């Protein structure tokens, strides 16, 4: 009988709130962070385009169980639209598909903003991760085909003009919900204004419930890992097997897993109740302010995350239990 295979990597859990640089893909960023921490598993909470920079929350270990709650959080983007040209990818990467010599006035742009505030319908870009008959839209688009992508309902809390650097560019800030494509906003506003447009610069400023103070750069992570860049372009890092404290500085940069659940009711548990929940059993919710009903809630033991579940008729029923 063969022995069970050992999992590769450290049993480390938490969030790395990465300040992703432009030019790095989201999958590449996850791989980089996973390698630095030697984590067993990792995943991100919402793709950020390679040409975009900014907040990319990356979950390690048990924190991957909380990814859906971060995905549902509000997001803030700052982006610049270049007027006069629509592009295949709706950003700088694609070739021009339509051009115009017209440029919108500030008054025309401001008059358009209410149309893009609130609950609206939006068609994702041709170059997006939307699945069409099992294939990613960007794979179909790269093959030279055009596909019909259905409009989806999204919600935009606010859309403001931040700066008008010249007549050909406008910088906006948008607060929006899950599934919003900023590139589609630029494309659609350009069409409505009759001058076309595409995103020339994009930065994700915030993903709730994380804060800008949580941001950490790749350089800061590498420095914490003790990585030295050699003249020949290679990297040297301490061997954690020989240096037991090598991960200490890195681990200090992690945001606790429980922060991802900030929008949910918290159910504090005593030791006996926590043990029952870890075994998958429901427990009575106690406390004057305890909810009687809640579709989603999380239980803690002395501030440590124990489980995510629901509250039904005054009972906390665990759905996902945490071991770390």
| Residues designated catalytic | 49
State how far Cα 224 lies from the chain centre.
23
According to DSSP, the β-strands at 53-60 and 197-207 are parallel
- Contact partners, residue 144, CB within 8 Å, separation at least 6: none
- CA distance to 124, 169, 195, 316, per residue, from 85 (Å): 18, 11, 7, 55
Q: Give the angle subtended at the CA of 142 by the CAs of 140 and 144, to the nearest 5°.
A: 80
Q: Count of CB atoms within 10 A of residue 212's CB? A: 12
Q: Are 88 and 127 in contact (CB under 8 A)?
A: yes
- Contact partners, residue 279, CB within 8 Å, separation at least 6: none
Query: Per the structure block, which two tokens stand in for 236?
Result: 């040297």
State how far the Cα of 60 lies from the Cα of 45, in Å rounded to an integer: 11
State how far Cα 76 lies from the chain centre.
11
Q: Which residue spans within 84-125 are E strands per DSSP? A: 85-87, 96-99, 118-122
The C-alpha torsion from 252 through 253 and 257 to 260, rounded to 10°, is 150
State how far the Cα of 324 lies from the Cα of 301, in Å rounded to an integer: 12
Q: Residue 310's closest CA among 276, 288, 277? A: 277
Q: Would you list the DSSP string of 43-72? A: EESS---TT-EEEEEEEEGGGGGGHHHHHT
State how far the Cα of 116 lies from the Cα of 52, in Å rounded to an integer: 21
């Amino acid at each position: 009988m063969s022995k069970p295979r050992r999992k590769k990597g450290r049993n480390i859990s938490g969030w790395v709130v990465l300040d992703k640089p432009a030019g790095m893909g989201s999958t590449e960023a996850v791989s980089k962070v996973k390698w630095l921490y030697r984590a067993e598993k990792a995943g991100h909470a919402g793709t950020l385009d390679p040409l975009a920079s900014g907040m990319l929350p990356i979950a390690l270990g048990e924190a991957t169980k909380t990814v859906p709650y971060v995905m549902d959080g509000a997001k803030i983007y700052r982006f610049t639209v270049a007027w006069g040209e629509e592009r295949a990818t709706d950003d700088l990467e694609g070739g021009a598909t339509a051009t115009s010599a017209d440029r919108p006035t500030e008054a025309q742009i401001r008059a358009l903003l209410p149309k893009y505030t609130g609950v609206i319908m939006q068609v994702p870009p041709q170059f997006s991760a939307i699945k069409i008959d099992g294939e990613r839209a960007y794979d179909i688009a790269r093959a030279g085909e055009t596909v019909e992508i259905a409009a989806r309902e999204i919600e935009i809390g606010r859309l403001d003009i931040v700066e008008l650097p010249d007549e050909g560019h406008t910088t906006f800030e948008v607060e929006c919900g899950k599934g919003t494509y900023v590139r589609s906003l630029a494309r659609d506003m350009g069409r409505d204004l009759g001058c076309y447009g595409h995103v020339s610069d994009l930065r994700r400023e915030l993903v709730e419930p994380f804060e800008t103070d949580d941001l950490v750069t790749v350089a800061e992570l590498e420095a914490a890992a003790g990585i030295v860049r050699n003249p020949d372009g290679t990297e040297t890092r301490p061997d954690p097997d020989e240096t037991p404290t090598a991960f200490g500085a890195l681990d200090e940069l992690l945001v606790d897993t429980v922060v991802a659940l900030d929008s949910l009711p918290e159910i504090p548990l005593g030791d006996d109740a926590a043990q029952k929940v870890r075994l998958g059993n429901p427990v009575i919710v106690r406390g004057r302010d305890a909810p009687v009903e809640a579709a989603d809630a999380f239980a803690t033991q002395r501030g440590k995350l124990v489980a995510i579940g629901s509250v039904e008729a005054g009972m906390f029923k665990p759905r996902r239990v945490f071991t770390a």
